[in-house]
Structure 1
Amino acid sequence: MHLGILTLTISLPGCRSLKEKRQRMGGLHERFGRNPAIAVCESGELDRLDASEWTFVAVAPAKPQVEALLSEIEDKIQRTVDGRVMEATREML
């Protein structure tokens, strides 16, 4: 079994409320948490309105499958979230 961790820091320029922050992040937990091979949580920047940090953990039998899952997550977030990915870090275990 292989495990990969993807942490994304997302800038949300102009965000003025916690409600707007949640709307702009578009339900990441619900969208990605449905996949049994992925765990997701908001892991940082909880007190800031103009930024958000999310961590995704993917598990698969082979490393290429884990890398594909993490790439798919990152690509989908860049296309669908009303914000800009400022930093993306990956760790393979």
Structure 2
Amino acid sequence: MHIGILTLTFALPGCASLKEKRQRMGGLHERFGRNPAVAVCESGERNRLTVSEWSFVVAARSVAEVESLCSEIEDKLQCGVDGRVLEARREML
């Protein structure tokens, strides 16, 4: 079993409240948490309005599968979030 952690930091320009931030970032749990190989959580920057950090823990039988799932998540989030990806970090455990 191989495990990877994908951590993405998003810029949310013009975000005026925590409620708006949750709406703009909403649905990540539902979209990616359905896959039994992926766990999703807001991992940082919870109280900053214009920045959000999310981590995705991916488990699979091979490193290639982990990398593929991480790439898929990253690609979907590039277009599916009302914000801009500032940083993407990957770590293999």
Contact 2:39–2:58, Cα closer than 8 Å, also in 1? yes
Hey, what's the Cα distance between the residues in 2 that align with 1:12 and 1:32?
20
Deviation string, structure 1 residues 11-69 (Cα, Å, up to 9, x no partner): 00000011111111131011111100000100000010101000000000011000000
Report the count of equivalent residues: 93
**RMSD between aligned residues:** 0.7
Gaps of 5+ in 2: none
Provide the residue aligned with 1:40 in structure 2: 40
SS of 1:49 mapped into structure 2: coil
Hey, what's the Cα distance between the residues in 2 that align with 1:17 and 1:30?
22
- Taking structure 1 as the reference length, the TM-score comes to 0.97
- Taking structure 2 as the reference length, the TM-score comes to 0.97
Gaps of 5+ in 1: none
Provide the residue aligned with 2:23 in structure 1: 23
Question: Per-residue deviation at 1:77?
Answer: 0.5
Q: Percent identity?
A: 74
Moved over 3 A (4+): none
